[in-house]
Structure 1
Amino acid sequence: MLIRVPAAFEPSPSEITPRLVYLKRRELIAAAGLLAAGTGHGAAKLLATRSSVAGAVVMDKLTTQQDATSYNNFYEFGTDKADPARYAHTLKPTPWSVAIEGECAKPGRYDLETLLKLAPMEERIYRLRCVEGWSMVIPWVGYSLAELLKKAEPSSKAKFVEFTTLADRGQMPGLRSGVLDWPYVEGLRIDEAMHPLALLAFGMYGEVLPNQNGAPLRLALPWKYGFKSIKSIVKIRFVEKQPRSSWEQAAPREYGFYSNVNPTVDHPRWSQATERRIGEESSSGFGALLAKRRQTLMFNGYEAQVGQLYAGMDLKKNY
């Protein structure tokens, strides 16, 4: 008789999420129709099948939707965690389009309705770990970024993929600050971008993305720190040389290009060895600020899926 002993990082049965969203793709098309008709981004439902990608679904207790949509980093709307929920109502997620440029055979521009219909939607429950030391578990809705990138037929010169966020001062009051050099830019090696776990997300909790979480589409990269999962994307560009990401440009000593979750590499101003899960209250009852700390996992717990991408690399040098 084979008895399986769970690994230390695996959740207990009591932590397994009982609720998954089982949804039908034909209703996704209806959602796309609602968006195209301009009937309101927030009113549409995104419906999906559960992910079949190995390692995509994390069976941890979900962060509540309230916490996940009210405690955010989105500096285009302010630097306080509550600012995005407070001010992002000014973002206009429809109409929307994404330009595909650079080293590829088929550059072009995709409108939101086309992007929504490009591939079957999946629900993937991912851990999200932020560099400040907090984490969440969120059910995203989308499909692998590779589904879109392959349509552009990147050339042999395409070694990296650069992503750019919308920068509109009329919609994004945070652009008036000098905290970053706008627009927000991020990048991945092309093999990272093509990895099945790299998700192009259009929704969360079975609904379209709220403005404060990066509407109408963003990346969800579960093995990297949260700032790599760029929001409100308007441009994707295939490039030969490694792009300079916004945080890397602003503070290169603190934020490297790779930004993989690595508990052995401390941020210059704090340890990355532990984290606090938003919504897990401490015994003192002070909520998120005093949530119990847990050990941070290498690659945020996705080492089996993505570790091979970095074989032979010095992950302290390439932080």
Structure 2
Amino acid sequence: MLIKLNPDGIVQPSPSEITPEHVYLNRRQFIARIAATAAAGSALWEMANREAFAQAGTRLAARRNAAYVAPDKVTEFHDATHYNNFYEFGTDKEDPAANAHTLRPRPWTVSIEGEVKKPQTLDIDSLRKMAPLEERIYRLRCVEGWSMVIPWVGYSLSELIKRVEPTSNAKYVEFITLADPKQMPGVRSRILQWPYTEGLRMDEAMHPLALLTVGMYGQVLPNQNGAPVRVIVPWKYGFKSGKSIVKIRFVRDQPRTSWNVSAPDEYGFYANVNPKVDHPRWSQATERRIGEDGFFKRKRETLMFNGYPDVARLYGGMDLRKYY
């Protein structure tokens, strides 16, 4: 999918992307007719609901930040939204797209708590307006060995951090996500301790690459990709990038994170992309790019820190085999 910008750098849809009015009205009439017969055909209503959910979301005005553009082919939108991990909606890669229509991304608030001078609760609109939105094309590498290249929309997490003024006691940032079994069927399972929790060291969270993310491909985040707000930490494995965040806490001690608690021998707190440190059950030296690398094609080599070498300074003197 190509992202089109006007001369001012604002994302704009092309005429071919705009749904004709008669098609839009026919769709509304179709869904209305199905709703009227819900008592006799609830399965049809669910199908229509999922079809409506799958349509493109509200577009966001964001300037392309050329300093953060991976020189890779962008993953197709369909692949990025139909092959992903979001265990709150199921453990298979296709489950989030099939089940996340139950998530209600509005109304939505995020509370900022802990060691800050200005604790507050922000709704999603306030979060989007806190700093100018940027489009950044980042690589995303997952611990299972697959990767994507996605145009994310958001702004540096440091912008939010500076505004809430952490105290000198704040050494880590903890991200707590929604865990509502009514909206998220996967929360009823015991595969993880809910709510899903992740964290960063303060200097990691302040690095300009760490992105508070509210959109992708020029539009609001789809439900299955972590709507309405998530973080993206591109030099770490994907499980570090918490989705559907409802609370951000600034704390003194290293937070207990979901996968590190569940399987500490497999998922470290830092989780930096490191091709020299294997997962106990598979190698991390190579990866398969979704939508490009077929099953029989030779895998590509994984880059240290996922190709973001500037972050190496954050870990000077650390044994990255021990602090994996």
The two structures have a TM-score, normalised by structure 1, of 0.85
C-alpha displacement at 1:297, in angstroms? 0.4
Q: Distance in 2 between matches of 1:189 and 1:21?
A: 36
Q: Distance in 1 between matches of 2:246 and 2:214?
A: 13
Residue in structure 1 matched with residue 311 of structure 2 by the alignment: 306
CA 1:43 to 1:263, structure 2 compared with 1: closer, same or farther past 3 Å? closer
8 Å CA contact retained: 1:22, 1:47: no
2:233 alignment partner in structure 1: 221
Cα 1:27–1:139 change in 2 (3 A) is: closer
TM-superposed deviation, 1:166 = 0.3
Bigger radius of gyration among the two: 2
Pairing 1:89-100 to 2, within 5 Å after superposition: 89-100=101-112
SS at match of 1:170: coil
Please list the CA deviations of residues 168-197 of structure 1 after superposition, one character each: whole Å capped at 9, or x if unmatched: 010000011110000000000011001100
- Secondary structure of the 2:161 match is helix
Contact 1:167/1:182 (8 A) holds in 2: yes
- Residue of 58, 61, 85 corresponding to 1:44: 58
Contact between 2:4 and 2:11, CA under 8 Å: does it hold in 1? no
Is 2:323 the counterpart of 1:318?
yes
Unaligned runs of 5+ in 2: 13-52
**2:282 matched residue in structure 1:** 270
**Post-superposition shift, 1:43?**
3.7
Distance 1:299 1:111 in 2: 33
1:144-183, aligned counterparts within 5 Å?
Answer: 144-183=156-195
Would the alpha carbon gap of residues 291 and 176 (structure 1) be closer, same or farther in structure 2, given more than 3 Å must change? farther
Whole-angstrom distance in 2 between the partners of 1:20 and 1:306: 28
Q: Give the superposed CA RMSD.
A: 1.9
- Tell me the residue number matched to 1:200: 212
For 1:44 and 1:26, the matched residues in 2 are separated by: 14
Determine if contact 2:139/2:147 at 8 Å carries over to the other structure. yes
* C-alpha distance after superposition, 1:112-139 (max 9, x if no partner): 1111111111110000000000000000
Q: Counterpart of 2:5?
A: 22
Q: CA deviation at 1:59?
A: 1.6
- 2:290 aligned partner, one-letter code: I
Q: 2:9·2:64 contact (CA, 8 Å) conserved in 1?
A: no
8 Å contact from structure 1 (residues 98, 233) kept in 2:
yes
Structure 2 SS opposite 1:138: strand
What's the counterpart of residue 68 of structure 1? Answer: 80
